[in-house]
Every structure is written in structure tokens, then in C-alpha cells.
Amino acid sequence: MYKTAWTARGKMANSDKAVIKALVDKNKMAARIFVTGEVHEDYIGEAAVKLLININDTLYENGASQEPLFIETRSNTIRMTRFDPEVVWKCFDPDTLVSLVTFEISRLHIIMDPWAMDHFDFYESMIAAIKEEKGDYWLPTVFKGSDINIYYNAVYLSALLLFGKPGYMDVPIAEHFAYPPNANFLGNTEWNILNEAQRVEVEKLRKEYEKIQGLTNPELKFIIDLYKEN
């Protein structure tokens, strides 16, 4: 059965593929958006932002699409309204993809082999790499007195690591990690391993709710309870 990528949005058009191929050759900085479908404006720079937004006018004027492919968000990111990584990544050669992925690895401060992605989704491959390095039951540590943003990041990442479910608080994964403080959280966090009783409960929850795409209340409660005493 086909598995939808975590970062997938909308349905891509043939004209989108032509834009992607041309843009990768023209501007590697702007092409960084093709790894995850959303990037912070500071990450690609003003010139690349303008280039992406202006492409919408070109698509419209040529009759290719009346709907924009690239939009600016209130969080100062550029988002692709239509993004399927399996389609996008096949628009350019593997060496180019590896080069773009390498920049993402550096931005997120993670250990990951860009040639060894097992999924047609960067963030799903990232989580798999973290679990391969750390193990299956390691989670970010939250120290007493930490601010609410630290708790939010810890819960978001824990939902990914324990249950493979993005979208905590209805925030898409590409939007979450495009925000610089959330990206920096990965590189600065300390890690803690679950005890035996907690591991047993994780396996029980995984078995019971693995077929439900979104994060369930029991899964979320389990994660929240891990941090509530801090």
C-alpha cells in the first residue's frame, strides 16, 4: 500500500516538474526548498525568496497554473502548496539531492548519511537515523524550569520518535522544523532513556494505535506524563 510522505501537500502538476528542473539548475539556494517543501526565508536569503515568489507569476502568465506553487507564510517561511518528495526528488540527479540533503543535515545538527535515506521523506529518514544512533527508547530531556517552547519541542519530537506521528498541536512537520529555534533544539538537547515499565507501555500503545494516522489521546497522554513532573 502506498504510504503518504510526512511532508506531502496537495497534488503536483506536470508544470511543477518543469519548474523544479529549471530552478535546481538556476539557483541552488532556492532549490533547498525541494528537500522538505518548506524553508525559512533566512535560510535561503532574500534573492532566492523573490525568485520563488516570482515563479508564480510566470506559471500564471504561461497558463500553466492559476494557483501559486510557492507562498510566504506568517512565520517567514516559503512553503510549496504542492509537494510530493518522491515526485520532486526524481526531477534532478541523486548527486544534487545529496548535496541539498547535506545542507539540511547541517541545519538540523543531526548525524545522518545523506546517501542512506530509507524513505521518500527527509524528516522520516531523519527520525530513522536518530533512532539508529540513539536506540528505540531515547527521548529529549526537559529540565525543571524550562520554558514552554522546550516542552513543546520535546513533545513534538517524542511523538515522532516513539510513534512516528507528526502534527502535534496540528503543526505540520515541515513547518515545525523550518522554524530555526525548533531546528536548533535537535542539536542542543540532552537525551534520556525510558525505563522498562515505560518501554512496555510504549509497545502496547504502538500495537494498539499503529493504524491510526494521527496522534491519539492515549499516546499524547503517555508523552505528556513523561514530562509533567519537570
Give the model confidence (pLDDT) of 94-125 as tens digits. 999 999 999 999 999 999 999 999 899 999 99
Residues 84, 162, 133: CA angle, nearest 5 degrees: 85
Alpha carbon 59 to chain centroid, angstroms: 26
Contact present, 192 and 139 (Cβ < 8 Å): yes
* Percentage of the chain exceeding pLDDT 90: 84
Cell numbers at residue 50, please? 523573490
The backbone torsions φ and ψ at residue 200, rounded to the nearest 5 degrees and listed phi first, read: -60, -40
Alpha carbon 179 to chain centroid, angstroms: 11
Read off the pLDDT of each residue in 5-17 and give the average, rounded to a whole number. Answer: 91
**According to the model, what pLDDT value does residue 1 have?**
38
pLDDT mean across residues, the chain: 93
**According to the model, what pLDDT value does residue 89 have?**
97
Q: What is the 3-state secondary structure (H, E, C) of 100-162?
A: HHHHHHHHHCCCCCCCCCCCCCHHHHHHHHHHHHHCCCEEECCCCCCCHHHHHHHHHHHHHHH
* Percentage of the chain exceeding pLDDT 70: 94
Contact present, 33 and 52 (Cβ < 8 Å): yes
Contact present, 75 and 179 (Cβ < 8 Å): yes
**pLDDT greater than 70 at residue 230:** no
Cell numbers at residue 51, please? 525568485
Q: How far is CA 176 from CA 108, 142, 153, 157, 160, in A?
A: 12, 19, 9, 10, 12
Cα 73 from Cα 78, distance rounded (Å):
6
**pLDDT greater than 90 at residue 155:** yes
pTM: 0.93
Contact present, 72 and 78 (Cβ < 8 Å): yes
Report the Cα–Cα distance between both ends of the chain, in Å, rounded.
41
**pLDDT greater than 90 at residue 67:** no
Cα 154 from Cα 144, distance rounded (Å):
13
Contact present, 108 and 125 (Cβ < 8 Å): no
